[in-house]
Amino acid sequence: MIRFEKTTVSYPGPGAPALDEVSINVDKGEFVFLVGASGSGKSTALKLVMREMRPTSGRVYVAGKEINRLAAWKVPRLRRQIGTVFQDFRLLSTKSVSENVAFALQVIGRSGRDIRKTVPETLELVGLADKGNRMPDELSGGEQQRVAIARAMVNDPMILVADEPTGNLDPATSVGILTLFEHINASGTTVLMATHDHGVVDRMRKRVIELDHGTVVRDEASGAYGFEH
Ligand code: ADP
Ligand code: MG
């Protein structure tokens, strides 16, 4: 589902590459934590998967497509198959909770009837059935992240990419967010989550890929966050 082959990313300017010949293979339906110190290359790896950028060298395949060779007009179609969740939620502040989730369906041309059915179902799944009419700034951080997750999953994406999704949340709230990710994963969506959060990684015991200065230093099937590297 996601494959890096000797993938290198060098940002302009001096300094070592952000990713240095990284090779990773993530199969359909896997749940993978990407861990490592700040600056180790996690966000860069996720940006490649989202096709926000391209590798300097090497290859990246997402859902069978090599992103470097993908025609520009095909990029939106690929992005539609990828749900994204970020540390800072990134909700549309002038839209209600329901409108935020509906928007993800409007932009891909789904019918009003379909949207009116799907949005409440998705809000129910993330535990926000009664908050559809609220504005984002009327919600707690954990609730806002649930809206972002609803928006990411409403389209039933093949891949969910999350960059530090619990970075602004307290530990108890984070557990709830991870439980949601597990549900999404159980329905067949491949989950790739970059995190600093030792607590959630240790609790979940999923596959852990650790980056250090842009190289993979660990890839464990059922790992903990680990301090030993
Ligand atoms: P992480 O998400 O693990 O903190 P990043 O992928 O954000 O790591 O960054 C990896 C390296 O690339 C760091 O050294 C960072 O400073 C550098 N970097 C990230 N984004 C840019 C950018 N837009 N321009 C230049 N350097 C960048
Ligand atoms: Mg980052």
Q: Measuring CA to CA, which residue among 10, 171, 181, 174 is closest to residue 84?
A: 181
Q: Could you tell me if residue 3 is inside a domain?
A: no
The whole model's pTM is what? 0.95
Q: Could you tell me if residue 213 is inside a domain?
A: no
Which ligand lies nearest to the CA atom of residue 212 in the structure? 1
Q: Could you tell me if residue 207 is inside a domain?
A: no
Distance 171 CA to ligand 2 centre (A): 19
Taking CA atoms only, the protein residue closest to ligand 1 atom 16 is 39
Q: Could you tell me if residue 34 is inside a domain?
A: no
What atom of ligand 1 comes closest to residue 15's alpha carbon? 14
Mark the residues whose beta carbon lies below 5 A from ion ligand 2: 42-43
pLDDT per residue as tens digits for the range 148-166: 999 999 999 999 999 999 9
Residue type, 115: I
Distance 52 CA to ligand 1 centre (A): 14
pLDDT per residue as tens digits for the range 70-128: 999 999 999 999 999 999 999 999 999 999 999 999 999 999 999 999 999 999 999 99
pLDDT per residue as tens digits for the range 23-53: 999 999 999 999 999 999 999 999 999 999 9
Distance 106 CA to ligand 1 centre (A): 33
Distance 19 CA to ligand 2 centre (A): 13
The domain of 101 spans 89-156
Q: Could you tell me if residue 114 is inside a domain?
A: yes
Question: Structurally, how many domains does the chain consist of?
Answer: 1
Q: Is the pLDDT of residue 229 over 50?
A: no
Instruction: Report the 3 state secondary structure along 130-194.
Output: CCCCCCHHHCCHHHHHHHHHHHHHCCCCCEEEEECCCCCCCHHHHHHHHHHHHHHHHCCCEEEEE
Distance 159 CA to ligand 1 centre (A): 23
Which residues contact ligand 1 via a Cβ below 6 A?
11, 18, 36, 38-44
Taking CA atoms only, the protein residue closest to ligand 1 atom 21 is 11
26 exposure class (CB count in 10 Å sphere: 0-12, 13-18, 19+)? buried
Which ligand lies nearest to the CA atom of residue 167 in the structure? 2
Q: Could you tell me if residue 83 is inside a domain?
A: no
- The pLDDT of 186-194, averaged and rounded, is 97
Q: Are the CB atoms for 50 and 82 separated by under 8 Å? A: yes
What atom of ligand 1 comes closest to residue 163's alpha carbon? 2
pLDDT value of residue 227 = 59
Q: Could you tell me if residue 142 is inside a domain?
A: yes
Half-sphere exposure of 183 (CA within 13 A, CB side): 14
Q: Could you tell me if residue 70 is inside a domain?
A: no
